Chain A
Amino acid sequence: LAKTTQPISMDSYEGQEVNITCSHNNIATNDYITWYQQFPSQGPRFIIQGYKTKVTNEVASLFIPADRKSSTLSLPRVSLSDTAVYYCLVGPFSGGYNKLIFGAGTRLAVHP
């Protein structure tokens, strides 16, 4: 599984756009990039997944450059409730049956 590197922590303010970048230099051809969000004392929650270019859903956008060695999770207009830990995972997911290896994640704090 490709190793990922993310900033340990980030701070932002309500209403701002937050971009969290994840490096995965050793990503394999069949690897997907998936982001999860975790609130304290809760299980992780799926945010977004992509393979290349750009993916957008109602929660976030995921930007993946052509070389796929990094990806950026973009959260538009964050609110206090977006304060959480965000995990970037890379792996050959197959219907979710492959085990997930979590890195340290990025602890995002949104301030009033």
Chain B
Amino acid sequence: GAVVSQHPSRVICKSGTSVKIECRSLDFQATTMFWYRQFPKQSLMLMATSNEGSKATYEQGVEKDKFLINHASLTLSTLTVTSAHPEDSSFYICSAPGRKETQYFGPGTRLLVL
């Protein structure tokens, strides 16, 4: 079946640095991908919709200059957390549309900002 991968699976960085997270569709093309953030014991919160060849669409309250999204190819979307701070520590998950009205989710990336 279709698979979405994410890299890295976990990352630790210092406050003020930038971190890039990759989301790949492994055996299918995805012109659209979604990025979510999930804090401990909470639900997934949609951050933005990544569109291949055009600007991402951000949800209300999500800073587009802080969370840079680039969808450079039909199989890759990247999320860059710029000038990360401890409050950005979270679980970041991407997804891509699949067949039969569903979305396929990546395994997630655990970000810890010290």
Contact = CB atoms under 8 A, between A and B. Distances in A.
B43 A97 contact: no
Contacts of B95: 43-44, 100
Contact of A94 (B49, B101, B110): B101
A103 interface: yes
Given A43-B93, A87-B43, A100 B107 contact: no
A12 to B, nearest CB: 20
Contacts of B44: 38, 44, 87, 102
Interface in A46-105: 46, 49, 87, 93-97, 99-105
Nearest to A97: B97
Contact of B91 (A34, A41, A101): A41
B100 A45 contact: no
Contacts, number: 65
Q: For the side of the interface on B, what is the size category?
A: 20 to 34
A93 B97 CA distance: 10
A16 B79 CA distance: 42
A29 interface: no
A100 B95 CA distance: 10
Interface in B22-70: 32, 34, 36, 43-46, 49
Contacts of B105: 36, 43-45
